[in-house]
Structure 1
Amino acid sequence: MAKGEDAIRRRQNKTKRKKLQKKESSSNVTARVAAIIAAKQRRKAGKRRQCLGMCFSLPTPDDPFNDRHGKKEFQIKETKKPMSLKDKKAFVKGKSADLKKGTENEREKSHTFMYLKERRNSLNLEGTELPVNGKPAVNGHQEQACEYFDRPSKFLILCLNAIENALCHNGTYNVEEKKPLFVNHWGIEFWKCYSSGRDIIETSGSSSSVEHTAWMVSTAADSIARNEKEGLSFTSPFLLFLVPSQEKAAKVRSVCKSLKTLGIHTVSLHPGAPIDHQINGLKSCEPEFLVSTPERLLELVSLKAVDISGVSLLVVDELEALCKGGYLANVNSIRQSISGRPRTMVFNDSINYASVPAMQNLLIGSICRLSLNDSVASQSACILQSVNVCASEEEKLLKGIQVLDNAYGNSHCSQPVNVLYVVGKDGKFQKLVSALSLKGYSISTGSKCILSEVKNSLDTDRIKRPAVSMVDKDHIDTTELGEYEVVIIPDFVLSIENYVHILTKMARHTVKGVLHSFFTKEGDAPHAGKLIEILEQCGQAVPEALRDLSLTSTMLES
């Protein structure tokens, strides 16, 4: 029986395909290599044959018959439910612990944190050890303490980003015109000062800005998260932010409310709202942050509507405005209502020396100075410049010793006070050393007066002898002046540049620094005019005798 045309055509096509396949395989690769390539492609595509699954998987208790061939069971994701306020606060506790784990993100590898890592040793000031996990460091844990304050935590950066996003959404902050908050230079310096454990004074002569507030409240939120991780709880607000007006309270509140989604609640108290409404509001919540004017806060404290005894961080904004408004007594009463010694941050919004006594009442211990302003007034804030015009060299010597006696409270004993004499190598120097030795002072000619030397300076009767450090005027540029609270220039033989150097480098860790200088009409009159300019620039009173000396010098020159 003859075959049909279709059958003949299929057979011919099959023969042709075989010839082509044989030709291609012989010209390219062998059959074994082709099989290896095909298997590799199947593995990459995830299309391995079911029989091969048996070769690479074993039965498990969940799949005893190996029906799934080692494949995981498909899991359906659960839809997230909205979190309540109580759950959000619990979320903050776990969030700080979770964010500590894992690899560092790209932002923490930026130049900002490399800069912080290089400066990590500067946090350990005065040779004191930093606290570890909120507790004082002990011997052997110094390295651990440095690692703890190595850099801002991820939760702090999370808070800054939350504030930045909210402010950009409201149109009150533009990242294109300004830098992102987490690389703000002022904020980095504030964080280093805060990590040192000292009180902070801002001496740029301005009030807090949006960037300042963002870094302060984010750092406070991070401290809350760290303490809660250690099992500590707060019955009182953690942060108390004192402001002079309702308008300023609204600005601070607008920054703080961005942290509400992270479990940080802020309450604003001011005379613009009924006091009954504020009392009911305080009963219904437990705020972590309080932003208030002094008079309204004291009124609520007297009614026992709010407890501020456990406040950990006190921020006083626009101190000069509070003093002029008559709220200084209220601020002092608020400070006394806080038990213990809270961390204090003061914004000195004026270069006038009139507000310094109020600052000295608030900042009792060692401080950190914070300012990005390099002006003489900013760097010498809270340092009193005392200028005395004397009739003779003997009067200068006597007044200099009298200043020294007053610095030590006229008693050889009490707390060590770092006093520096800036002198010249001449006959006056030997006369001064003899006079101080007769008064019972211990003279040190080193470049720095060490407190241990003061404690160990004993005379034959086992009485402590106050130590006085002396330095040659020619070595003043290489002398460490930061620890000296009192500097005396008994013979004004310095240049004005050296005077400014002393003024801006002394008393870095106190608000009670005093710089004494003594003039005579004969030899020091040419310096009077420039010294008057410095006093006026720093907002301090100019003695009439110094003005007369300047006029006399000008008349003689003309």
Structure 2
Amino acid sequence: MAKGDDAIRRKKNKLNRKKQRANDSATVSNRIAAIIAAKKRRQSGKRRNCQGMCFSLPTPEDPFNDKYDKMDIKGKETKKVVPSKEDCKVAINRNSVASNKGTPGGNHVSIDHQQQLEKVKGNKWWNDQAMSLRSTEHVGKENVVKRVRKKDFEQSGCPSKVLALCLDSIQNALRRDGFLSSEEDKPLFMNKWGVEFWKCYSVGNDILETSGACSTIEQIAWIASTAADSISRKEKEGLSLMGPSLLFLVPSQGEAIKVRTVCKPLKAHGIHTVSLHTGAPIDHQIHGLKNIEPEFLVSTPERLLELVSLKAIDISGVSLLVVDGLETSIKGGHSDVIKSIRHHISTNPHTVVFSDCSSHASIPLVQNLLRGSICRLSLHDSITSQGACIMQSVHVCASEEEKIPKGIQVLDQAGGDELEGQFSKVLFIVGNNSNFHPLVSAIESKGYSVALNSAPSSEIENRKSRPSVFVFKAEHINTIDIGEFEVVIISDFVHKMDDYVQILTRMARHTASGALHSFLTAENAALIEQLIEILERCGQAVPEAVRNLFRSISMVEG
């Protein structure tokens, strides 16, 4: 064989081996391929985020490279989808929102909304409010947790993004329609009343609003947005929603239109609002309710009760009940109607009542609607607003010695055998030191637990089935929070009316059944005229004995 042929064969075999090696590298296992790929990335200087700790050296501060285990590797952010109304209905019918994957018609969060969220997140006042809420929740944490679980509430921490989005949508719509001034710089989510409302709502307390007879646009916006946020949370947990979640009772057709105008922008977030009033034919409303499943229901009391009796709407599952303009409804003769509507709700809903309590007749209805622990909210600090729903009783005594037996009689009426357990704590305020020890002895002889000049404690409160009685000297009254006391008895009337006003506006902050009793003698003549004025301003009845005492003193001075 010629030498030239041998050289050609060797060259050909070399090419064949090279091709074979190429074929072998193409059929390697996935593990080997991953190793090869990692090597190429390492050589090119490109690494995955998770490979950072593999090539980082230990330091004296972090000898075991523990800090890399806590790294927050953020992936690609995706747009969040707010489910449309159709999506929510599909999820509700299947009893699970988890199966709802969204539709092409879903409502996506806009860029403006994302910018608004960043504004909320970076706002110092908003964050301070959230931090103060967290700090208040840690005080008595065990009791708060038990209360929230008992009422099945999901809100905690700070206001959610859904709440901010709803408030932003309402504000933009109202400014566009001219209901709010576009030059106003303060956004709705910075409204202090709204934040206080959210705090009370999130811990499960009913709310008594005493600023005025009816709600404002800002207050309606916060209530509607909070209710929408609550619906969103429940749907995320897979809870089915049957019937309206929010029931807003209003005294007139005009108020119904106002509330629906504020709630209308929430339709973009899957919240549909229906308004019912006597200004429209009832047949038309019945036909409309058959085709619509509203989340929010706004109605006048008489029309709603009529539709409920015809079984055109089911309100048994309402979770938030708002009664607006209570005095106007009472003047229209709808007190019994509101009570009947409340009985048709089988759940234990959050209840919000807007009432200035200017009339004594409204107090029993407020107490019927707000039966548990409440929060008092108001836009201002007037006497009539802060002292709403507190019964002021004035007793005239002929002498100092008569005050003690009359005080014991009032105490027995507040927590005696017939009304045992109606009130949990009673506060006696004694201004005359000579009456202090005789009063304590008289109270103890009746079998009450007595604490002297000390703050309330659970040990004292649980010692007896009867109310716990706390006896304080007038000079020590500023050392405790009298907001915990439902009944306050001023055994010796105050020397200044400012002290009386302070007691009235600070007591019974968590109940709608407060009672303030005062004992007068002829020595308090200089303050009787001011006391009568306060009673009249608060819509309280002035006893005839008080008026007679004032007339007799005026005649003597004349």
Return the TM-score normalized by structure 1.
Answer: 0.77
Pairing of 1:7-406 with structure 2 (within 5 A)? 85-87=85-87, 105-120=118-133, 121-123=135-137, 129-130=143-144, 135-136=149-150, 149-177=156-184, 179-406=186-413
In the alignment, which residue of structure 2 is the partner of 1:477? 478
Give 3-state SS (helix, strand or coil) of 1:470's partner. strand
In the alignment, which residue of structure 2 is the partner of 1:537? 537
Deviation at 1:150, TM superposition (A): 2.3
Q: In the aligned structure 1, how far is the partner of 2:301 from the partner of 2:466? A: 45
In the alignment, which residue of structure 1 is the partner of 2:498? 497
Q: Residues 131, 261 of structure 1: CA spacing in aligned structure 2 closer, same or farther, 3 A cutoff?
A: farther
8 A Cα contact 2:448 2:469, kept in partner = yes
Q: Which amino acid aligns with 2:271?
A: I
Residues 465-512 of structure 1 show CA distances to partners (whole Å, capped at 9, x for unaligned) of: 643110110111222101101111122144212111111111000011
Give 3-state SS (helix, strand or coil) of 1:468's partner. strand
Q: In the aligned structure 2, how far is the partner of 1:453 from the partner of 1:276? A: 60
Q: In the aligned structure 1, how far is the partner of 2:307 from the partner of 2:453? A: 55
Residues 93-136 of structure 1 show CA distances to partners (whole Å, capped at 9, x for unaligned) of: 8799999x999723222033222133213356876644599745
Q: Residues 452, 309 of structure 1: CA spacing in aligned structure 2 closer, same or farther, 3 A cutoff?
A: farther
8 A Cα contact 2:246 2:321, kept in partner = yes
8 A Cα contact 2:421 2:466, kept in partner = no
Q: In the aligned structure 2, how far is the partner of 1:534 from the partner of 1:415? A: 27
% of aligned pairs identical? Answer: 53
8 A Cα contact 2:318 2:347, kept in partner = no
Q: Does 1:518 align with 2:519?
A: yes
Residues 309-346 of structure 1 show CA distances to partners (whole Å, capped at 9, x for unaligned) of: 00000000000000000111110000000012100000
8 A Cα contact 2:387 2:505, kept in partner = yes
Q: Does 1:442 align with 2:460?
A: no
In the alignment, which residue of structure 2 is the partner of 1:409? 416
Aligned residues: 469
Pairing of 1:425-464 with structure 2 (within 5 A)? 426-457=433-464, 464=465
Deviation at 1:289, TM superposition (A): 0.4
In the alignment, which residue of structure 1 is the partner of 2:24? none
Pair member with larger Rg: 1
Deviation at 1:557, TM superposition (A): 4.3
8 A Cα contact 1:482 1:508, kept in partner = yes
Q: Which amino acid aligns with 1:503?
A: L
Residues 181-235 of structure 1 show CA distances to partners (whole Å, capped at 9, x for unaligned) of: 1111221121111112100010112311111111100000000001111111111
Q: In the aligned structure 2, how far is the partner of 1:281 from the partner of 1:221? A: 22
Q: Which amino acid aligns with 1:514?
A: A
Q: Which amino acid aligns with 2:136?
A: S
Give 3-state SS (helix, strand or coil) of 1:529's partner. helix
8 A Cα contact 1:97 1:229, kept in partner = no
Q: Residues 353, 307 of structure 1: CA spacing in aligned structure 2 closer, same or farther, 3 A cutoff?
A: same
Q: In the aligned structure 2, how far is the partner of 1:416 from the partner of 1:245? A: 36
In the alignment, which residue of structure 2 is the partner of 1:507? 508
Q: Which amino acid aligns with 1:550?
A: F
Residues 398-451 of structure 1 show CA distances to partners (whole Å, capped at 9, x for unaligned) of: 211111001113369646620010013622212212222222222211432334
Q: Residues 542, 468 of structure 1: CA spacing in aligned structure 2 closer, same or farther, 3 A cutoff?
A: same
Return the TM-score normalized by structure 2.
Answer: 0.77
Q: Which moved more, 1:107-116 or 1:478-487?
A: 107-116
Q: In the aligned structure 2, how far is the partner of 1:85 from the partner of 1:443? A: 59
Q: Residues 311, 373 of structure 1: CA spacing in aligned structure 2 closer, same or farther, 3 A cutoff?
A: same
Q: In the aligned structure 2, how far is the partner of 1:297 from the partner of 1:162? A: 28
Give 3-state SS (helix, strand or coil) of 2:251's partner. coil
8 A Cα contact 1:267 1:291, kept in partner = yes
Q: Unpaired runs of 5+ in structure 1?
A: 1-52, 59-82, 139-144, 458-463
Q: In the aligned structure 2, how far is the partner of 1:133 from the partner of 1:496? A: 38
In the alignment, which residue of structure 2 is the partner of 1:74? none
8 A Cα contact 2:440 2:471, kept in partner = no
Query: What value does the CA root-mean-square deviation take over the aligned residues?
Result: 3.3
In the alignment, which residue of structure 2 is the partner of 1:27? none
Q: In the aligned structure 2, how far is the partner of 1:415 from the partner of 1:370? A: 24
Residues 144-196 of structure 1 show CA distances to partners (whole Å, capped at 9, x for unaligned) of: x99x5222111111111111111122122113136221111221121111112
Deviation at 1:242, TM superposition (A): 0.3
Deviation at 1:247, TM superposition (A): 1.1
Q: Which amino acid aligns with 1:313?
A: L
8 A Cα contact 2:494 2:500, kept in partner = no
Give 3-state SS (helix, strand or coil) of 2:462's partner. helix
